[in-house]
A and B are shown apart, each in its own frame.
Chain A
């Protein structure tokens, strides 16, 4: 195909441009819909990932429970506890475990500078930080292995605890009294989105080295064991092996679902992601359907164009234009109309997304804003959009174009 021929088509289109403001607007609107819908859909998925990983990434959490079946002569309704020794016990027997950390907690008075608040205080190890997304603010750190080994009196506090006790001041290096025992703050949790939790958001928690916690708490068993598999696909396998191993150790039926509390966030995330993906696809389809309305308008317009130009088409045929030249011209004009309408829709939608992203997210309480305020403009959006437009250009242009190419040259030449 000759470039000059394309240029000729373009100049013909320009000279004969139809006034079609409503159709252009429909294309503009459809483009906005598809890009904004896709943007919010993808943004929600991304925000879900972020806020879900606020709890932790690829995490399995084990806690004690109560048997619901009799087992080897033992009655049902027995309490089952997990103990600090289980950490090494499980790690040694399940090679698929990457990291494992204990956690115990209690509600205590936490005070500093004559302010006293009641908060959940946790004892854990250094691994906990990575597993539970405990990212320290600049200048601080989480509990480290030496803290745990030496039973140091150090504490890592949530950012809300820091705000409540120290106001705008930097708490690092300052004293905090937990259950009447003084500790030194070594780190403050960085703000994060968190939509899943068990004792309230991490922003409100205080963390101590596991050994130091043991010195002020008399509870012999653990509240929770945190496990991260080497690979997420091992999660169900690990879950089963834990039931088997601990079932043997504490004498309960491995199929007793109530003997242990197991929270498998990997499986939860899979389900939730599938739902979010579904929403994304749904929104994409809604956007595409909106654009389809514009496309129907374009088809109508192109039929009118073909009718109006019957004689010219006849002239071109007499001069030796092949069918594909006639088809190409109509399809290209359809494309020009689409480009005009969608271009501004595209620019507008892009800017709306960028503007919405500037609205700050409220970290204090997790709400719907956390999901909606971070729409995304991704390469994927662009490709989906271009594919939809491509298909619609073809569909709206091809039928009028084929009709034009099938015109009888003699009748067309006589058409007035």
Chain B
């Protein structure tokens, strides 16, 4: 599913340069549930951004589902993000002015899904996360746990094989966090690949395998 071959990421600001990832080689198989842990500054976010096709490596090869991502155009990367990857963020990142329904609908609109098919899909997703009755509410009218469930429904809109979760429970109380983790586990059991960043051992315990990063390299 995900192959990192000698990935290097260097950030340059003026004359200074910072190596966020150094010769990182990772392989994550289809259907795996992997968590990434490490102290801040260890390169977790950079790694997630590259996996999520939001950023490109400075050197090395990144192959996603057999496709080399390096050298793809911005629109091709957007298309991969739309169809192959579902994002779940720590701070939910819902559109504040859009309703729950519209937030879930957005990736389907970007994918060009037509009327009835799209509406059925949105209803199905909202039902799956138990928030169909809240479809007309805006994020500010929902609790943190509800917002994250909406975000999860949105991540699943185009039925992507890969879910990237960046501290998905970081802003939630423990009960809501458990609900989200239960949902993620269910998705994993349905066959999706899940990559999750967390610094909480209890949350990481939901995954099959943990990758520890330190200073842009594997810690073990």
Which A residues lie at the B interface, using CB under 8 A?
2, 4-5, 8, 11-12, 15-16, 311-312, 314-325, 409-410, 413
Tally chain B residues at the interface, Cβ within 8 Å. 33
With A4-B109, A8-B109 known as contacts, the answer to whether A319 contacts B97 (CB < 8 A) is no
In chain A, what residue has the closest Cβ to B83? Answer: A320
Which residues of B70-101 have CB atoms within 8 Å of chain A's CB atoms? 74-75, 78-83, 87, 89, 93-98
Contacts of B118 in A (CB 8 A): 4
User: In the docked arrangement, what's the CA distance between A322 and B81, Å?
Assistant: 10
Task: Give the shortest distance, in Å, between B73 (CB) and chain A (any CB).
Answer: 9
Contacts of A317 in B (CB 8 A): 54, 78, 81
Interface residue? B145 (CB, 8 A): no
A320 touches B54 (CB 8 A): no
User: In the docked arrangement, what's the CA distance between A312 and B95, Å?
Assistant: 6
The residue that B87 contacts in the complex, of A5, A11, A16, A318, with Cβ under 8 A, is A318
Interface residue? B49 (CB, 8 A): yes
A-B contact count (CB 8 A): 73
The residue that A413 contacts in the complex, of B89, B102, B115, with Cβ under 8 A, is B89
With A4-B118, A12-B98, A413-B93 known as contacts, the answer to whether A319 contacts B54 (CB < 8 A) is no
Task: Give the shortest distance, in Å, between B143 (CB) and chain A (any CB).
Answer: 20
Interface residue? B52 (CB, 8 A): yes
In chain B, what residue has the closest Cβ to A412? Answer: B54
With A323-B78, A410-B55 known as contacts, the answer to whether A318 contacts B93 (CB < 8 A) is yes
Contacts of B55 in A (CB 8 A): 410
The residue that B106 contacts in the complex, of A16, A316, A322, with Cβ under 8 A, is A316
A409 touches B54 (CB 8 A): yes
Interface residue? B111 (CB, 8 A): yes
A318 touches B109 (CB 8 A): no
Contacts of B87 in A (CB 8 A): 318-319
Q: Can you list 13 residue pairs at the A/B interface with Cβ under 8 Å?
A: A4-B105, A4-B115, A312-B95, A314-B93, A315-B93, A316-B106, A318-B54, A320-B110, A322-B78, A409-B54, A410-B49, A410-B54, A413-B54
A321 touches B110 (CB 8 A): yes
A322 touches B93 (CB 8 A): no
With A320-B79, A322-B79 known as contacts, the answer to whether A2 contacts B54 (CB < 8 A) is no
With A8-B109, A322-B78, A323-B78 known as contacts, the answer to whether A315 contacts B54 (CB < 8 A) is no
* Interface residues as binary, B100-123 with A (CB distance below 8 Å gives 1, 0 otherwise): 001001110111101100100000
Contacts of B97 in A (CB 8 A): 12, 15-16
Interface residue? B44 (CB, 8 A): no
Contacts of A315 in B (CB 8 A): 93-95
* Interface residues as binary, B137-178 with A (CB distance below 8 Å gives 1, 0 otherwise): 000000000000000001000100000000000000000000
